[in-house]
Amino acid sequence: MKRTLSILLTIAMIISLIPAVFAADVPTMSTTVDKTEVQPGDTITLTLSIDKTITNLNNWEWAIYFDKTAYVKTSGELEPGCMSGTGTTGAVGDNVDILGKNAIRVSGLSTTGDPVTLNAGKIATVTFTATENITAENARIEVKTEALPDYNTLEDNSVNLAGNIIDVTVVTTEEKGYTVSMGDDKQAAFGQTVEIPVTIGYSDDSVTGYNAYDMSFSYDSSALKLDMEETNEEGNRVMLGDNSVRIVRYGKEAALGEALTLKFEVLAGKGSSNVTVTSAKVDTNGNAIEADAPDATILRPTATVTVSGYTVTLPDEVHKTLDMRTDPTWPTTWFAPKLTGKGPFTDVYSVMANWGANHGAFCYGHIGADLITMASMLRIPVSMHNVDASRIFRPSAWAAFGTADLEGADYRACQNFGPLYK
C-alpha cells in the first residue's frame, strides 16, 4: 500500500512540473522604459523586445494603450531587422481607438501574403511626451498583444508579457515659471498656408503676462516655407536660419495666451513635417533676454503638418462645362484621387471607369483604413480602394480566403460569414 502511494505521489509531482516545462518554451515580449517618474514636458521611452524568434506568422501586432490627454507620441520606429520574409512591412502607428480606448499599434505583415518571421531581439522604440494634463490617475501605460496568428492555422501564438503595465509616477515641482506650447497638428494641401500658434503660459495664477521672449524653432525648409511678412508681427524680430528661425520680442506687457503665429506655405505634395520649438526664454523684464531670462518649460514641443495632396483652381469655363454634364441642381465637389499606378488607380480615367459613380460621401481627414476595418467587421466587402496595404487591418480569418487578391478574399470572407446585422 505504501509503495503504491509513493508511486502515485511521484507521478503527481512529475505531472505538476509539466506546465512549467512547456511555459518555458513560450516567447516573452518585454517592455522596458527609460524612466517611471515624469513631470509635464518630460519624455518617456518604451522599448519592446522579444526573447525568442517566432516563425510562420500571418501578421503580428501589439498595442500600446495610453491616455491621449496625458501623453503625446513624439516618435516611434521599428527596429531594423526585427522581422524577415518576403515583402515585409510594418510601422509604429498614430493614435487609434480600439474598443473605446486610445492606443497606437506596433505591427507588421507581408504585402505579398507570405509568412512573416519575427526575430528575437528589439522590436520597436516609442517615445511619449507628458502633457500638462498628466495626473496620477491617467499616467498608466499598458502594452497588450493584439494579434499573433499562425500562417497556416490562423490561431494566435502564445506569448508571455513582461513589464507590460507601466505605472508612471507624476512628479510635482514647486518651481514656478513660464511654459511654451506648440499648437495642434495641421493638415494641408500643396500650396496652402498653415498657421501654427505658439502659446505662452505660467505654472500658476501668480503671473498674468510677459514682456519679452526669445524662441527658436526648427522645420524642414524643403517642405515648408516660412512666411516672413506674416510671421514678423509688431514687436517681433525674426532671424531666419538653415531649417530654423529665431524670433525675439521686446515691448509692453502682453497677456498670457497665444503669443505668435508661425505661418508656412506648403511646398511638398505629400508626407509630414514637424515644426518644433527647440528653445524658449520668457520674462517680464523687457531687456532680460540679453541678460538672464529663465528657460521656459516646453510642454508641447512639436506640431506636425501633414500634407494630403495638391489643390488647383478650375477656370470658370472648365467648371461650367463639366458641371452641366449632370443635373446642375446637384452639389458639386471636384477632387483628384490619389493614384498608385496599379489597377483601377493607374490614372484618373481608370478610377472613374471602375468606380462608375458620380456621387460620394466626403469627410475631413484620411480615414479610409478605419472604414475598411469597420466594413470587414460588419461583413461589408470593399470593391476598390487606394489605401496602402500596411495601413489595412482586417480580421486574421480573412487570410484563409486568399492572400494575393485581397479584395477578392474580402468578398469571399464576407459571403462566408454573412452580414453581422440583418
Q: What is the pLDDT of residues 38-68, one digit of tens each?
A: 999 999 999 999 999 999 999 999 999 999 9
379 close to 372: Cβ distance less than 8 angstroms: no
DSSP 224-267: EEE-HHHH--TTEEEEEETTEEEEEE-SS-EESEEEEEEEEEE-
CA 55 → CA 89, 148, 160, 316, distances in Å? Answer: 16, 10, 16, 59
- Give per-residue pLDDT as tens, 122-131: 999 999 999 9
Does residue 306 surpass a pLDDT of 90?
no
> pTM, whole model, 2 decimals?
0.43
pLDDT > 70 in the chain, percent? 87
236 close to 248: Cβ distance less than 8 angstroms: yes
51 Cβ contact list (under 8 Å, min separation 6):
27, 28, 30, 120
Does residue 174 surpass a pLDDT of 80?
no
| Residue 355 dihedral angles phi and psi, to the nearest 5° | -70, -50
DSSP 269-301: SSEEEEEEEEEEEEESSTTGGGTTPPBPEEEE-
Provide the grid cell at 417: 460569414
- Give per-residue pLDDT as tens, 341-351: 888 889 888 88
Provide the grid cell at 138: 491617467
| Lowest-confidence segment of 80-89, 198-207, 238-247, 311-320 by average pLDDT | 311-320
Give me the residue label for grid cell 503638418.
305
- Give per-residue pLDDT as tens, 2-38: 455 454 445 445 444 444 333 458 999 999 999 999 9
